[in-house]
């Protein structure tokens, strides 16, 4: 007899990404099914669409840039960030230009044309804040806002020298001959990049289910580091259209950069870094942005 599963709807970035792997694994491993839960992912686009889906009640949770619920204009929705899914700046820079070598210093960006996902994506915020913080040094660095998933086309067509993307698309492009020359995780350190959040009334009404989701996700984070072989086998099932070598490269890169937390607690350092870079580009937040963090579920 089929078990009746309760559906939790999660708004997320407009593409499936291995950055969100802990949540995907929690379901693929069967741990959520044991708790009577099924997830439905709603691919809504950029971070502003994710927060909008939660604010309007179209989705129970969002899995997106966690600073969005702390925006001043979102205060009346009373949203809470309940889990850290990625706590490093998990994007990379790729190029087809043999002249461009590994970028390890801000000065290496001078004069480059860089294609990024459009604002308010974290990738855009990272590069725009970097330019603002080093405005004299990077006055000739140009950011090109490209439609989600199409950043590579600007390098391919010669309109950009470098593009910023996330996994598994980084490893897929690398397999096609593009070179990875930049890791934002190395440059920016701890930073709240992807989190789970929802409206307070939804979190209260579905407290037990959401707590079970957090427990299973934390278990998946531990498995990613403790059991790479099982993690890879399950990830291949999740991303059926990707060749196993691409998945293997993606997992290795993200695991080595430690983008996934060992637990789901949002730390003050990672949060302040994320809020700081978005403030640098003119985004307005609540006076006490930390008040939206609710680590009770984890």
Give residue-wise pLDDT tens across range 190-202. 999 999 999 999 9
Whether 1 has a pLDDT exceeding 60, the answer reads: no
Q: What residues contact 33, with CB distance under 8 A and at least 6 apart?
A: 3, 5, 27
Q: In this model, does residue 71 exceed pLDDT 80? A: yes
Bridge partner list, 92? 165, 183
- CA dihedral angle for residue 63, residue 274, residue 292, residue 45, rounded to 10 degrees: -30
In the chain, CATH 3.40.190.10 sits at 6-89+191-297, 92-188
Confidence at residue 14, expressed as pLDDT on a 0 to 100 scale = 77
- Band (pLDDT 50/70/90 cuts) for residue 3 is low
In the predicted model, is pLDDT for residue 179 greater than 80? yes
pLDDT at 2: 45
Above 70 in pLDDT, residue 73? yes
The arithmetic mean of pLDDT across residues 112-118, rounded, is: 97
Prediction pTM value: 0.94
More confidently predicted of 115 and 46: 115
Distances 253 to 185, 186, 197, 282 between C-alpha atoms, Å: 11, 12, 26, 32
Percent of the chain with pLDDT over 90: 95
Could you please report the per-residue DSSP string of 130-180? HHHHTTTTTTT-EEEE--TT-HHHHHHTTS-SEEEE-TTHHHHHHHTT-EE
Residues 127-145: what's their mean pLDDT? 97
CATH code for the domain defined by 92-188: 3.40.190.10
- Given a cut of 80, whether residue 107 has pLDDT beyond it is yes
CA 160: distance to chain centroid? 23
The CATH number of 6-89+191-297, from 3.40.50.1100, 3.40.190.10, 3.40.50.1860, 3.40.50.1980, is: 3.40.190.10
């Amino acid at each position: 007899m089929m078990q009746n599963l309760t559906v939790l709807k999660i708004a997320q970035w407009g593409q499936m990404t291995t950055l969100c792997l802990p949540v995907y694994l929690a379901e693929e491993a069967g741990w959520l099914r044991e708790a009577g839960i099924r997830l439905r992912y709603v691919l809504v686009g950029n971070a502003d669409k994710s927060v909008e889906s939660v604010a309007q009640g179209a989705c129970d949770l969002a899995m997106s840039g966690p600073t969005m619920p702390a925006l001043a204009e979102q205060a009346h929705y009373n949203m809470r960030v309940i889990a850290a899914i990625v706590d490093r700046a998990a994007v990379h820079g790729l190029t087809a230009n043999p002249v461009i070598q590994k970028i390890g210093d801000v000065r290496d960006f001078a004069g480059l044309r860089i294609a990024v996902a459009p604002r308010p994506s974290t990738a855009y915020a990272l590069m725009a804040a970097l330019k603002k913080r080093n405005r004299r040094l990077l006055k000739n660095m140009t950011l090109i806002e490209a439609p989600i998933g199409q950043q590579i086309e600007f390098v391919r067509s010669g309109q950009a020298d470098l593009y910023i993307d996330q996994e598994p698309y980084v490893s897929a492009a690398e397999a096609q001959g593009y070179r990875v020359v930049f890791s934002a995780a190395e440059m920016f350190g701890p930073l709240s990049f992807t989190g789970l959040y929802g409206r307070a009334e939804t979190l209260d009404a579905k407290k037990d289910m959401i707590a079970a989701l957090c427990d299973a996700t934390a278990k998946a984070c531990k498995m990613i580091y403790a059991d790479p072989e099982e993690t890879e086998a399950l990830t291949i099932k999740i991303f059926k259209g990707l060749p196993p070598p691409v998945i293997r490269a993606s997992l290795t890169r993200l695991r080595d950069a430690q983008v996934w937390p060992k637990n789901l607690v949002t730390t003050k350092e990672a949060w302040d870094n994320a809020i700081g870079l978005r403030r640098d580009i003119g985004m307005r937040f609540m006076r006490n942005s930390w008040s939206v963090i609710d680590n009770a579920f984890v």
